[in-house]
Structure 1
Amino acid sequence: MDGESATVVVIGSGAGGAPLTHTLVRAGHRVVVLEKGPLLRTQAQSPGGLSDFKRDECFATGSEKRITVQGVANTGESFYSSHVEPDLNDEPHVYRDSDGRDRVTIEGYTAQLVGGGTQLYGGVSPRFTPEDLRLATLNASRGDLRDDPGGEVRREARDWPLDYAALEPYYTRAEELVGINGTWGGQAKVPSQDRYQPPLDPNPISAYAAAGMDALGMRRYRTPLAVITRDHPPSGRTVPADADSIKTAFVNRYGDPLGLKSNVWVSLLAPLREVNGSGGLDLRANCTVTHLEADGPRVTKVHYRDPGGWPRTITAGTVVVACSAIESVRLLQLSGLLDPAFDKRVNANGLLGRYFLTHCFGGAQCIVPERADKSRTLDSDWATDHCARPEWFRAQGLWAGGVIYNNTSDGALPLSLARTWHAMDMDSMWKGYLYDTGIVGDGFEDYLEDSFGRRLSVAFMANQVPQRENRIELHPSVTDKWGRPVAYIIKSWHPHDRALMDTLAEQCRQILVRGGDVRDVSSGSVGGSVVRIANHVLGGARFGTNAADSVLDPDCRVWNFDNLYVTDGAFMPTSGSANPTLTIEANSFRVGDVLLDRVGRT
């Protein structure tokens, strides 16, 4: 409806948008949330008791399509579309490959639906360590850093404009309101309150990872997971009487039809339907925001297309952009493309899109003697902060460390083994072992005998070195179905990233080697694979205390605007030593309190 207005408009309903929406609506405000994707309901939310999820959220099984985008290296290649990610021909991302050629990809889309990527992630939800927020200070006087010939690590490291103590209460709020299970003993992070629900019993295969961590003297803890194991009063969700039935490997990479996975739709947004006479939350699914319009330092209008494709506008008092880092940066860049005055304000220092980050990641895998039913598990059982401790990563000549945890649910079923065998990125997951001609006949039986229920992996997540040239731009020639330039991702790995990944991958390998009678142990990292941008899209609009050195102020407000905020992972100046979702949620709760002070408390 053209001409309407709202006090707050939030663009995106995932980890960056839902917590502050929850805060504002609970305080009595009306918030319009514009979500590009559909609303998929759980069984309990559906009038007919049938969930909207199809159990193929990431892996499409429909008809084969061909890439028709012209001017890229993979024109003509086949692909399959998922119903929660864009068709590659409609709205691709483009990345510059190592050969200098452009290729279209769906990587970098966390998921387009209400709840965003929290609908499909495995739920691994550790906090960052206090050291993650002050890496510039920790490394300022060091002369022992490995593989840093140009001195970029110390020069480009940035402290966050808030410390762990300032963020800690919001971590606690997120753990309580979202619904996390896990344990604190052994963590390198100290909570002010324990809001974890108790974890379920680990899967038997995880005993090898636990034994390996113990043998190496690594303090371990039950991995914090965004899955409820007890009734959850803040959201009104309840668990089955048989708690063990909560365990399902489908939690990872699939939507949860039961609503037990604590995505932000079921935990934070759906409960708001009962608040303020159900008028506080105005959630509009299948609405694509095209650009923002400003009058001087104030964003005045949000332009979007409704579910029928019709252009609409809404006048906003405050605008929060939370589309996931790549698309948030792209939206601001598209708005600047249409209005040079907007561009001058949002990108006055030339940093919008710069310092794009993912995570350094990788790990190790092996084959264990006994077969386990890996379908009866959640995503991870055991984690350790051993390699996130300053004394450890300093001894290795590294600028930062990372969390290590075992992936319990990977390859849980023959179908998931098929889809991930030799598949290194989101575009090729569906190809599975079709490219391995040895997996036929006896080879297929041998493959299942060795891999099904017997494959165990251990993974790490660690800080990536910020590089100015790692960036998000608008592509000069490829456009989406509405004629707008698509996101263009240019990214490489710093030599120190590779050293860090090799070191942590070896730690993962040692955990498995020391874990018992295992075989075929191998390790590797993203630095040696074709994975490009899929893992945790962060940065591109970092926050800081200096307007010349950041895009956002400490409250995540765009420096030269009075009422424009960015609250997804784009705000991060460093990527942290663990999965980022809980930190994004905690920061969004923090910004929600900031907005309450600015828009008023009813």
Structure 2
Amino acid sequence: MVYDVCIIGSGAGASPVAYELSKAGFSVVVLEKGEFYKEDDFSKDELAVSRRKMFVPELKDEYHIVIQKEPNGETKEYKGTWSFWNGSLVGGSSNLMSGFFHRLKPNDFRLKSVYGEIDGANVIDWPISYDDLEPYYTKVEEVVGVSGKVVKHKFSEPRSKMHFPYEKLEENEATKWFDKAALDLGLTPLPTPRAIISRNLLDRNACYYSHFCGGFPCASRAKGSGRVLLQQCPAKIIPKAFVYKLVSDKFSVKEALYYDEFKKSHSIKAKIFVVAAQAIETSRLLLNSKNKHFPNGLANNSNQVGKNLIFSAGGAGSGTFYLKDLSKFDGDALMSRGLFFNRFIQNWYEFSQNGKKYKGGTIDFLFEHPNIIPNIIEQFYDDDGNLLYGDKLMAKIKANIYASRKLTFEVFNDWLPTNTTFVSVSDTYKDKYGVPVALINLEAHKHDLKVGEFLSKQAVKILEKMGAKDVSYNASYDPPPNLVAGGARFGDDPSTSVLDKNCKAHELTNLYVSDASFMPTGGSVPYTWSIYANSFRVADIIKKRLLNLV
């Protein structure tokens, strides 16, 4: 059988393409490396489910080689000890997201034009504008499901309509302390949109407030994962299918070769191929698909595949509220489990220092993860590093777990693309399938840390104003593996980009890339909403092509 469309991957970049095209009547096959889990498989028992680790390959079988250059010039190599896997299961890492959804803003599409060049960074403008993506942001709200409350103010994300389609999720009363502290500091506290539905709809159940969002799949189907989209469409899904090569001639891809769980090879033929394996694996697949027409890797005669890999820069921190400092009413509100702390600040999405305008970012505030196991483990030692046990350990657990609660924050700002952060493949090392492993080369731009440090310090001021104790933060050069993009950036110039503005490879007639690989810059928000939106845009482009409308 020759399918109309073959999609490699099943997450936020893949599922909208499968959803739209299969519902339009086209034959679509989805090849997913991981398993197809059902809701019953997603227990919220923190002992039974080991969060993200349960849904990624074992590094002893499928490892990465990470080469990191640190600020002091020292280079360290990590072979099989640093994982950049994010979710090998149907629906991909969208199953494991917290669902903080923020749109990019118009200036995010024009980073170079608005903020200028930065030495050592490959900053460019996007070949499309916010207006091109806006209808698809709105479509994601409806189809994937975004809950929230829009407050109209000068920091609002541009919108075609000033409301979300689904009501905001229930919030902890402690959000009122945050709002007051932020307003007292002259800031604008905002309710965070979430890709979690607040009532039964879309053939899905509403959130039941387990609060196990980050790192855990959703048992109620309230979270807007790629899996729930695929469950609502007739696309054929082949799980446990590791695509190791795309076979092409000079002009087009002819077939995708994949191994099943028994390492038996299979072939899929299609008119159009869409790669959405997540940025690092997408680059790895293209680089490993070399042939006589593409000796450097598929769609890589310009040597741009794998280049300009980006992550999300920023920082993180926390402050602790102790029950002994609160009234009973406030203490009961604080310790009320399950309800969200949905607040964010974007007052510094753009800021000025010494007369120069800088691109800033977003600060999301949330309660620490409710998984009790790592929280308990943190109590095993005293301040001097001595192991605690017995009454002393129980006293510390009671003081820090049952008599207090942490409010944390995460900072998101641009990770600038550079020549020194990229993906290549090893000439020596191979995974369990005999396929060359990815070499992940990392060197953060010093500007990233400067902005992340600035934003983290602003977040600390809010926590201190709220009355939190033991406030701390960390801004780091280390990239978050779950927030990765680039490697096949789109653009109008084939010599500096892999894809055209429609996310079709410049050098091949029927190859598209619809995961975050297309992004030349990432913006100062988590990527997922933009990945979903662009994937729906690519679906429309392919649909018109299959209907011979273009």
C-alpha displacement at 1:15, in angstroms? 0.2
- Tell me which of 217, 225, 248 is aligned to 1:263: 225
Post-superposition Cα deviations, 1:69-107, rounded to whole Å, max 9, x if no partner, equal xxxxxxxxxxx9933100111101221244433332453
**Residue 125 (str. 1) matches residue 101 (str. 2):** yes
Paired position in structure 1 for 2:470:
520
CA distance in 1, matches of 2:128, 2:209: 37
Paired position in structure 2 for 1:592:
539
Paired position in structure 1 for 2:327:
none
Deviates more, 1:285-294 or 1:105-114: 105-114
1:58–1:505 Cα change, 3 Å: farther
Paired position in structure 2 for 1:475:
426
- What pairs with 1:164-563 in structure 2 (closer than 5 Å)? 164-185=130-151, 186=153, 187-193=155-161, 194-232=163-201, 235-239=202-206, 246-266=208-228, 268-272=229-233, 280-336=234-290, 339=292, 341=294, 343=296, 346-370=299-323, 372-373=334-335, 375-378=337-340, 380-388=341-349, 390=350, 392-393=351-352, 397=356, 399-408=358-367, 410-418=368-376, 421=378, 437-441=386-390, 442-443=392-393, 445-452=395-402, 453-515=404-466, 517-527=467-477, 531-563=478-510
What stretches of structure 1 move > 6 A for 4+ residues in a row? 56-60
Post-superposition Cα deviations, 1:38-57, rounded to whole Å, max 9, x if no partner, equal 11112xxxxxxxx0124479
C-alpha displacement at 1:501, in angstroms? 1.1
Aligned-partner SS, 1:405: strand
Query: Amino acid of the residue matched to residue 87 of structure 1?
Result: E
Query: Amino acid of the residue matched to residue 360 of structure 1?
Result: A
C-alpha displacement at 1:487, in angstroms? 1.0
C-alpha displacement at 1:394, in angstroms? 6.1
- Tell me which of 9, 27, 30 is aligned to 2:27: 30
1:358–1:169 Cα change, 3 Å: same
- Tell me which of 26, 31, 41 is aligned to 2:38: 41
Query: Amino acid of the residue matched to residue 468 of structure 1?
Result: N
- Tell me which of 17, 42, 45 is aligned to 1:53: 42
Query: Would you say the 8 A contact 2:146–2:166 is kept in 1?
Result: yes
C-alpha displacement at 1:30, in angstroms? 1.2
CA distance in 2, matches of 1:119, 1:377: 20
TM-score (norm: length of structure 2): 0.90
CA distance in 2, matches of 1:555, 1:432: 54
1:502–1:90 Cα change, 3 Å: same
1:566–1:105 Cα change, 3 Å: farther
Query: Would you say the 8 A contact 2:246–2:289 is kept in 1?
Result: yes
Aligned-partner SS, 1:314: strand
Query: Amino acid of the residue matched to residue 576 of structure 1?
Result: G
**Aligned residues between the structures:** 530
Paired position in structure 2 for 1:566:
513
CA distance in 2, matches of 1:375, 1:93: 38
Aligned-partner SS, 2:524: coil
Query: Amino acid of the residue matched to residue 454 of structure 1?
Result: R
Query: Amino acid of the residue matched to residue 204 of structure 2?
Result: R
Query: Would you say the 8 A contact 1:16–1:588 is kept in 2?
Result: yes
Query: Would you say the 8 A contact 1:57–1:84 is kept in 2?
Result: no
**Residue 152 (str. 1) matches residue 120 (str. 2):** yes
RMSD after superposition: 2.7
CA distance in 2, matches of 1:416, 1:398: 41
Query: Amino acid of the residue matched to residue 182 of structure 1?
Result: G
Aligned-partner SS, 1:101: strand
Q: Percent identity?
A: 28
Query: Would you say the 8 A contact 1:373–1:412 is kept in 2?
Result: no
1:588–1:57 Cα change, 3 Å: farther
Query: Would you say the 8 A contact 2:101–2:529 is kept in 1?
Result: yes
Query: Would you say the 8 A contact 2:171–2:339 is kept in 1?
Result: yes
Query: Amino acid of the residue matched to residue 58 of structure 2?
Result: D
C-alpha displacement at 1:544, in angstroms? 1.0
Post-superposition Cα deviations, 1:448-467, rounded to whole Å, max 9, x if no partner, equal 41355511112211111111
1:81–1:219 Cα change, 3 Å: closer
5+ residue gaps, structure 2, are: 324-330
C-alpha displacement at 1:60, in angstroms? 6.3
Paired position in structure 1 for 2:115:
139
